[in-house]
Amino acid sequence: MSYETIEYTVADGVATITLNRPDSMNAMNAVMRRELLQAITEASEGARALVLTGKGRGFCAGQDLGDVTSFEELDLERTLREEYDPILTAIRECPIPTIAAINGAAAGAGANIALGADIVIAARSASFLEAFARIGLIPDAGGTYLLPRLVGRARAMGLSLLADPLPAEKAAEWGLIWEVVADDALMDNVNAMARKLAAGPTKAYRLMKEALNASPENDFETQTALEAKLQGQAGNSRDFKEGVMAFLEKRKPSYEGR
Ligand code: T3D
């Protein structure tokens, strides 16, 4: 499959999607939304880990504001429901681990799509900007769902109302993201992590994602019942047997993801 607005590569079981409209800080137009969804689906079916990053000095500046040619014809509810939401769902329900490598500014929908990944690693010079209030909108692309859950109501409100850039260091300090690394070490760190995950027990990863994603909405009994059900599935996997045998035989496990 060839793409116009993204680059898509697969190596060592790791699919990498690079948003590729650097002149506009990788702002999202309709083609990019379509291609991003297609590439996530492709990765879900053929790879064992997924990395999402941006070309140039930005990660993604959110909606391409240059696309707004007629305010009369604009239907944001439709665009969100039909074009953004499927991307958020594809990332959240992606059966393989997802890593967002934030190489620069992540703004608007670009920030919230990134925050939907399983692990977010940012370059020290990167920042997160809930830019919406600057143009009279509310955080979308999952922002109002994710932000309070990740950093609590006070910080979610501050980020949304003030719309000031949050430096990567502070984002890590707040628990919004996993970690910050030196700019020139970003992709080495991310690639090493992605390769480690791709060689791991990917069936267990899928099940743990299902459990952790369900957790915020569940009460204790519901969650522990789900945990037991999913652990039952993990316990029936070849990877579990391989993990235990490798431990007992004092060797490295070789996981197949089933
Ligand atoms: O369908 C719908 O509309 C609903 C969905 C909405 C979802 C949303 O994402 S709404 C939020 C949209 N995004 C923004 O409001 C962010 C706008 N951009 C910025 O605030 C800043 O550009 C950044 C903080 C991302 C980066 O700042 P800086 O100073 O590093 O770069 P810059 O000079 O502002 O931008 C560089 C170029 O990218 C510039 O083009 P030029 O002048 O060199 O030709 C700029 O116009 C362009 N650019 C940046 N963001 C966008 C963009 N072009 C189109 N759309 C953008 N979002």
In angstroms, rounded to a whole number, what is the distance separating the alpha carbons of residues 38 and 77? 21
Residue nearest to atom 1 of ligand 1 (CA): 76
pLDDT at 79 over 90: yes
Give yes or no: residues 129 and 231 share one domain: no
Write out pLDDT tens, residues 150-170: 999 999 999 999 999 999 999
Q: Is residue 219 part of a domain?
A: yes
pLDDT at 58 over 90: yes
Q: Is residue 15 part of a domain?
A: yes
Ligand 1 centroid distance, CA of 253 (Å): 46
Give yes or no: residues 81 and 209 share one domain: no
Give yes or no: residues 36 and 87 share one domain: yes
Give yes or no: residues 30 and 16 share one domain: yes
Ligand 1 centroid distance, CA of 191 (Å): 27
Residue 63: strand pairing partners: 28
pLDDT at 178 over 90: yes
Ligand 1 centroid distance, CA of 178 (Å): 25
Give yes or no: residues 58 and 164 share one domain: yes
Q: Which atom of ligand 1 is nearest to the CA of 65?
A: 55
Give yes or no: residues 75 and 194 share one domain: yes
Two tokens at 39? 């590439």
Pocket mutation for ligand 1, best pick of 25, 113, 144 (most atoms within 8 Å of C-beta)? 25
Q: Is residue 155 part of a domain?
A: yes
Higher per-residue pLDDT: 74 or 235: 235
Give yes or no: residues 139 and 69 share one domain: yes
Write out pLDDT tens, residues 193-222: 999 999 999 999 999 999 999 999 999 999
> What pLDDT, on a 0 to 100 scale, did the predictor assign at position 94?
98
Give yes or no: residues 140 and 41 share one domain: yes
Asked if residues 38 and 73 have their Cβ atoms less than 8 Å apart, the reply is no
Asked if residues 160 and 130 have their Cβ atoms less than 8 Å apart, the reply is yes
What is the domain count for the chain?
Answer: 2
Q: Is residue 212 part of a domain?
A: yes
Per the rule left: phi > 0, alpha: psi between -120 and 50, beta: everything else, 146 is: alpha
Q: Kindly indicate the confidence band of residue 70, based on its pLDDT and cuts at 50, 70 and 90.
A: confident
> What pLDDT, on a 0 to 100 scale, did the predictor assign at position 71?
85
Ligand 1 centroid distance, CA of 21 (Å): 12
Q: Is residue 193 part of a domain?
A: yes
For residue 151, what are the domain limits?
A: 6-198
- The verdict on the CB of residue 138 being under 6 Å from ligand 1 is no
Q: Is residue 1 part of a domain?
A: no
Asked if residues 176 and 25 have their Cβ atoms less than 8 Å apart, the reply is no
Residue nearest to atom 2 of ligand 1 (CA): 76
Ligand 1 centroid distance, CA of 18 (Å): 18
In angstroms, rounded to a whole number, what is the distance separating the alpha carbons of residues 170 and 159? 12
> What pLDDT, on a 0 to 100 scale, did the predictor assign at position 220?
98
For residue 131, the 8-state DSSP code is G
Residue 6: strand pairing partners: 19
Residue nearest to atom 50 of ligand 1 (CA): 61
Q: DSSP string spanning 190-219?
A: HHHHHHHHHTS-HHHHHHHHHHHHHGGG--
pLDDT at 256 over 90: yes
CATH of the domain at 232: 1.10.12.10
Give yes or no: residues 10 and 115 share one domain: yes
Write out pLDDT tens, residues 120-143: 999 999 999 999 999 999 999 999
Q: Is residue 122 part of a domain?
A: yes
Two tokens at 233? 């599935």
Q: Which atom of ligand 1 is nearest to the CA of 140?
A: 7
Mean pLDDT on 186-191: 98
Ligand 1 centroid distance, CA of 164 (Å): 14
Give yes or no: residues 120 and 235 share one domain: no
> What pLDDT, on a 0 to 100 scale, did the predictor assign at position 72?
81
Q: Which atom of ligand 1 is nearest to the CA of 105?
A: 25
Q: Is residue 161 part of a domain?
A: yes
Give yes or no: residues 164 and 185 share one domain: yes
Identity of residue 231: Q
In angstroms, rounded to a whole number, what is the distance separating the alpha carbons of residues 168 and 127? 5
- The verdict on the CB of residue 59 being under 6 Å from ligand 1 is no
CATH of the domain at 104: 3.90.226.10
In angstroms, rounded to a whole number, what is the distance separating the alpha carbons of residues 184 and 192? 14
Give yes or no: residues 24 and 120 share one domain: yes
Computed on alpha carbons and rounded to an integer, the radius of gyration of the chain in Å comes to 19
